[in-house]
Chains A and B, each alone.
Chain A
Amino acid sequence: MVPINYYLILSAIIFIVGTIGVLSRRNVLIIIMCVEMMLNSVNLTLIAFAGQWNNLVGQIFVFMVMAVAAAEVAVGLAILIAHFHLSKSTNIDDVNLMKW
């Protein structure tokens, strides 16, 4: 069987690719996708630990994370559409209405 370290390293790589995407891309849609990727890598970590410790609470928590991710992407895309009506842009640098 595959040791758990390999799953954790894969999860870390995916999380960091998502982080780089959030930090370096300027398109709001891509940033939302990268946030989803980061949530998924955390899910992989939780499931790997649930398998290691033979405990189902990790899998239950993954279910909760999935619910939060669905809510997050719905509200985030709604905010994106609302802002698009306002400024006709999906660049994150244009979202500066509340910046002083």
Chain B
Amino acid sequence: MDFAMIFFILVGALSVGAAVGVVTSKIAVHSALFLLVHFATLAILYVTLNAQFLAAAQVIIYAGGIVILILFVIMLIGSGPMETRAAYRSWVPYAGLALGILMLAGVSLTLLQTPAAPIDPEANQGGVPIVVGLTLYSQNILLVQLAAILLLVALIGALLLARRPKPEESSTSNLRS
């Protein structure tokens, strides 16, 4: 077992532990912090897979953007006791757990039967930003424009959805808020 394998196992165990922490922690802020750890460990794994640019994007977009957004919302709406009121459907967590274990068994059986292929350390020329950028802006330029439109629509939609209702407006329609 060489150093790369030990490193992978350590970082992978940390990542899975943080994922379990997101699911099991009782306080929403703790979940968000576990999510931050999870994203950081995944960025480390991206580096070991020759994707340096995506590792940086992961840290900037997920850890810097999405987790902060989630934390802002937690601060905004408060994170009091807001869980486990669904006593009338108490079987749902167990059903979820059973389905998840079943799915894990199926996926693992399939993956363990496929031959192990080592990853070329020189694959994708290291995934440095210049290589990714050349591919992104030459063959996949339509994708960039699509992402731009998507983000613009999402921005406008989020603004429209989250704005406070005016007093005279809320009396006429309940659905818009």
Interface residues in chain A, defined as those with a beta carbon under 8 Å from any beta carbon in chain B = 1-10, 12-14, 16-27, 29-30, 32-34, 36-37, 40, 43-44, 47-48, 50-52, 54-57, 59-60, 62-64, 66-75, 77-86, 89-91, 93, 97
B158 contacts A74, C-beta separation under 8 Å: yes
> A5 vs B15: C-alpha distance in the bound complex, in angstroms?
17
A4 contacts B124, C-beta separation under 8 Å: no
Tell me the minimal C-beta distance from B70 to chain A in angstroms: 7
Sample of 9 A–B contacts (CB below 8 Å): A5-B116, A16-B103, A24-B92, A37-B35, A40-B39, A48-B119, A51-B49, A51-B123, A56-B131
A73 contacts B123, C-beta separation under 8 Å: no
* Number of B interface residues in the complex (CB < 8 A): 92
**Contact of A89 with B51 at beta-carbon distance under 8 Å, contacts A2-B119, A5-B116, A37-B22 already known:** no
A79: B residues at CB distance < 8 A:
161
A16 contacts B104, C-beta separation under 8 Å: yes
- Asked whether B96 is an interface residue with its Cβ less than 8 Å from the other chain, the reply is yes
A27 contacts B83, C-beta separation under 8 Å: yes
A63: B residues at CB distance < 8 A:
54, 57, 132, 136, 143, 147
> A68 vs B146: C-alpha distance in the bound complex, in angstroms?
10
B73 contacts A77, C-beta separation under 8 Å: yes
B161 contacts A97, C-beta separation under 8 Å: no
**Contact of A82 with B177 at beta-carbon distance under 8 Å, contacts A16-B104, A44-B42 already known:** yes
A29 contacts B31, C-beta separation under 8 Å: yes
Q: Which of B23, B46, B70, B104 has a CB less than 8 Å from the CB of A12?
A: B104
B57: A residues at CB distance < 8 A:
63, 66
> A3 vs B155: C-alpha distance in the bound complex, in angstroms?
40
> A48 vs B159: C-alpha distance in the bound complex, in angstroms?
36
Tell me the minimal C-beta distance from B104 to chain A in angstroms: 5
B123 contacts A93, C-beta separation under 8 Å: no
> A97 vs B174: C-alpha distance in the bound complex, in angstroms?
10
B143: A residues at CB distance < 8 A:
60, 63-64
> A92 vs B91: C-alpha distance in the bound complex, in angstroms?
16
**Contact of A29 with B161 at beta-carbon distance under 8 Å, contacts A17-B23, A19-B103, A54-B120 already known:** no
Tell me the minimal C-beta distance from A88 to chain B in angstroms: 9
> A89 vs B121: C-alpha distance in the bound complex, in angstroms?
50
A81 contacts B154, C-beta separation under 8 Å: no
B49 contacts A33, C-beta separation under 8 Å: no
A44: B residues at CB distance < 8 A:
42, 45-46
